[in-house]
Amino acid sequence: MKKHNIILILFILMLIVIVIGNYIHLFFTQKSIDYENKDTYLKIDEDSMSILIEVDRKLLHIVNTRSNEIIKSYVVATGKIDTPTPLGTFKIIEKAKWGEGFGSRWLGLNVPWGRYGIHGTNKPDSVGFNISQGCIRMRNKDIEEVYDMVKYNTLVSIINGEYGPFGYGFRKLTPGDRGADVLEVQKRLKLEGYYHGALDGIYGEGMKKSLIQYLKDNNIPITDVIDFNIYKKLNIVLME
């Protein structure tokens, strides 16, 4: 009986040693963890972040502009052919927690010719396709992550291949059209000293008058349709 009691006491003592040892190990392990830096995103300087969206590849990248590294990438949906996603470089000027068809978050962009942004969707199966009215759609869990990572005035560059504002090709521009290509024509007419209006990417009356005057002064047939020949006269060419 005494032998059994001794064995039981030794077993209990062993358990106590094991439990105390585990607590000591856990204490020193936790002490060595830097909880303030264990989250990757907390190490990122918000001032060094920007967003790059590749319309043709349906990808949104969070980019560290100081190290020129992609931090994370997400699949997105972009605009339909007749309602294309705006191309160019913009800033985030709105942040909101929305619902309904815009999903759980909204990041509004300062696109001068319309209201566009990056937002979630209640139709996750649409992500990866040309299906929106021009906005960039993301899965709700993805936009929520991006929303927490970026701040106001974060730069957002939207490209479609290697042709800048003409990523959708040379389209014939007529009064009322809007887009990055319209903005580029405005810039060229301004450089030539003809356009004095706002650089807003909207083909309005002021742009039309400046175009017609430019055509008159350069002995080019008068028209308000900007086609390939006029692009060429304005030295707008596609270069890889």
For this structure, is 119 an active site residue? yes
Q: Are 60 and 74 in contact (CB under 8 A)?
A: yes
Query: Helix, strand, coil proportions of the chain in percent (round to 5)?
Result: 35, 25, 40
Q: Are 51 and 155 in contact (CB under 8 A)?
A: yes
From the list 163, 157, 168, the residue with the least C-alpha distance to 60 is 157
**Residue found under tokens 């937002």:** 119
> Catalytic pick from 25, 61, 135, 196?
135
> Catalytic pick from 4, 61, 119, 196?
119
Query: Strands (DSSP E) along the chain, which ranges?
Result: 49-54, 59-64, 69-75, 78-79, 88-96, 106-109, 116-119, 130-132, 136-137, 155-159
Report d(CA 183, CA 62) in Å as an integer: 26
Q: Collect all residues with Cβ–Cβ distance below 8 Å to 69 and sequence separation of at least 6.
A: 63
Residues with active-site annotation: 119, 135
